[in-house]
Structure 1
Amino acid sequence: MSFLKLTDVGFTYPNGFEATQHVSVAFELGETVAIVGQNGAGKTTTVKLMNGLLRPTKGELFIDGKPTNTMTTAQMSKYVGYVFQNPDDQIFQETIEKEIAFGPKRQKLAPEVVEKRVREAAALCGLSDELKEHPYNLPYSKRKFITIAAVIAMDPEVIILDEPTAGQDRESRQLLGRLMKELSARNKAVITITHDMEFVAKEFQRVLVFAKKQLRKDGTPREIFWDESLLELSALKQPYICQLAKAVGIQDVLTMEELGKKVLANEKYSD
């Protein structure tokens, strides 16, 4: 049984604007899933439905087999944590340690459990040496990891990241990739909204493509990035490695290693 499931879900704002429609998708624990699409495609609305920030106006949503229409937002957030795109929308404590500890304390956990959660989350996010710092003493890229750590410390089964690579350098992107692998190994589902196609090709097992308010395809990065009609419909670009391969007449690669092997194979057979 899928841990998180949406069945024919749609959402219309009170002003009558229909943001998303007919979304049916399920998520398993332990998987990493990227959600991609242009602005206005319905991505953010859909993920906000997953933890109760918004409520479906059509269809049903289930967490661990239970319908969420009887759950409060607080109850849903125990299972599904949401990290906002802008860390400054979440940070409000005077030290990083207090910021990360806030959620576990609200869960009324024992002090020793809170401390353990804070230390583990900080270590995962590269913040162990900065716990006593004021969050705004750190650069934007580091503040994003503070908000990720704060959600990890509450130990939800599903963690949603909204544009986590925005404003990040190469080192931070690598840390984020390692962090996601570790969360997956701990049987957490990691769902990520992103416009970073290079990151998607490298880090994700599964990709959901949204276009024109609907989920258009659910597949592997290879299936997504070599579906040219889908990319045209959703106004998405291939990762650079796919563009390079296409320019030299090679299809169906996602890495430089794959491209190199196909180039060598083509040269061999052309002799």
Structure 2
Amino acid sequence: MTGLDVRFDNVRFTYPSGVEALKGITFTIPAGQRVAIIGQNGAGKTTLVRHLNRINAPSSGTVHVGDTTTADQSIAQMSARVGYVFQNPDEQIFARTVIADVSFGPRNLGLDAEEADTRARAALEAVGLADHADVHPHQLSLSERKRVAFAGVLAMRTPVLVLDEPTTGQDARGVETIARIVQHVASEGRTVIAITHDMDFCVENFDRVIVMTQGEVRADGTPGEVFASGEVIAQAAVEPPQLMRLAAELGWATRPRDAEEFVDTVALHSGPAA
């Protein structure tokens, strides 16, 4: 399975109230890349990614997913290409059992009942909810419902996966599960895009970070490049990951993404043993 390129070409979007939420967004995400979009609330992040499945349509400019322009497609048509996990799972869950909810997407793609059920159960296994298949979703906790919504999108096996605040409400085990799924989906060549305020999750699981403020892109690069730009990060009202903050306080030029990189950097600064 392979991903699809995603391209925003001078995309502007104005709400009926007159608020201009996006102000000429242009960038490309190559197929198979893992990209995190960060910034303060109201920066336009969710407004932007909702263009990918046609929930939003540009006021001007174009959005491309693979060889398809979203303006030519319906939400239903785009759902076969772009799987979207909403920030609030209750906007996405509707069935009376977990298995019915998770298998809805595959069935809606035209798969037979057996294949849809197989995919749904595999997705529930992936998110750690295999034992909850026959439970009513609203008997579950918020974090579990979020993983039900996640499983429903995973079961569709779309070339592009969009996650809106995937770690919100998750405990450490839940975050680890989501990180593992992100890495697995990317290993299959699929494109993963996440909106997140969890900076540790961001730098540990994504190769590229895009910073948005006030409907515009302010920075775009590797986690190390982006978080080294203190001015941009301050404008975006996000706090760098804790290990990067510590590295900065120590005066290091490098910005380690995780504990392993931090330990390696300590060794470099410590010099050879006496």
Q: What interval of TM-score do these two structures reach, taking the shorter chain for normalisation?
A: over 0.9
Q: Would the aligned equivalents of 2:165 and 2:197 in 1 still touch at CA under 8 Å?
A: yes
CA RMSD across the alignment: 1.9
Matched, 1:227 2:229: yes
SS at match of 1:99: helix
Deviation of 1:106 (Å): 2.1
Misfit runs of 4+, over 4 Å: none
1:259 matches 2:262: yes
CA positional deviation for 1:232: 2.2
TM alignment of 1:77-96, pairs within 5 A: 77-96=79-98
- Contact 2:9–2:61 (CA<8 Å) still a contact in 1? yes
CA distance in 1, matches of 2:243, 2:182: 22
Q: Aligned-pair distance for 1:2? A: 6.0
Measure, in 2, the Cα distance between the counterparts of 1:195 and 1:121.
25
Paired residue secondary structure (2:50): helix
Q: Partner residue of 1:237? A: 239
State the alpha-carbon separation in 1 of the partners of residues 74 and 9 from structure 2: 19
Name the TM-score, length of structure 1 as normaliser.
0.94
Q: Which residue of 1 aligns with 2:39?
A: 37
| Alignment match, 1:67 | 69
Whole-angstrom CA distance in 2 between matches of 1:67 and 1:14: 23
Per-residue deviation, residues 4-42 of structure 1 (Å, max 9, x unmatched):
211010100112110011111222232211110001111
Which residue number corresponds to residue 178 of structure 1?
180
CA contact (8 A) 1:37 1:234 kept: yes
Which letter maps to 1:257?
E
- Structure 2 CA distance for partners of 1:37 and 1:109, relative to 1, 3 Å: same
1:141 and 2:143 matched: yes
Q: What residue identity is the alignment partner of 1:18? A: E
- Greater CA deviation, 162-171 or 131-140? 131-140
TM-score, with length taken from structure 2? 0.93
Q: Which residue of 2 aligns with 1:268?
A: 271
The Cα shift of 1:249 comes to: 1.9
Structure 2: how far apart are the matches of 1:260 and 1:157? 35
SS in 2 for 1:49: coil
Specify the alignment match of 2:191 in structure 1. 189
1:239 shift after superposition: 0.7
Name the stretch that deviates more: 120-129 or 32-41: 120-129
| C-alpha deviation, 1:229, in angstroms | 2.1
Task: Note closer, same or farther for the CA distance 1:122–1:245 as it changes in structure 2 (3 Å cut).
Answer: same
Identity %: 37
Decide whether the 8 Å contact of 1:6 with 1:23 is kept in 2. yes
Higher mean Cα deviation, 183-192 or 37-46?
Answer: 183-192
Whether the 8 Å contact between 1:2 and 1:26 is mirrored in structure 2 is no
Q: 1:182 to 1:41 in 2, by over 3 A?
A: same
1:202 pairs with 2:204:
yes
Which of 98, 103, 106 is residue 105 of structure 2 equivalent to? 103
Alignment length, in residue pairs?
271
Q: Secondary structure at the match of 2:234?
A: helix
| Partner-residue secondary structure (3-state), 1:50 | coil
Distance 2:5 2:252 in 1: 38
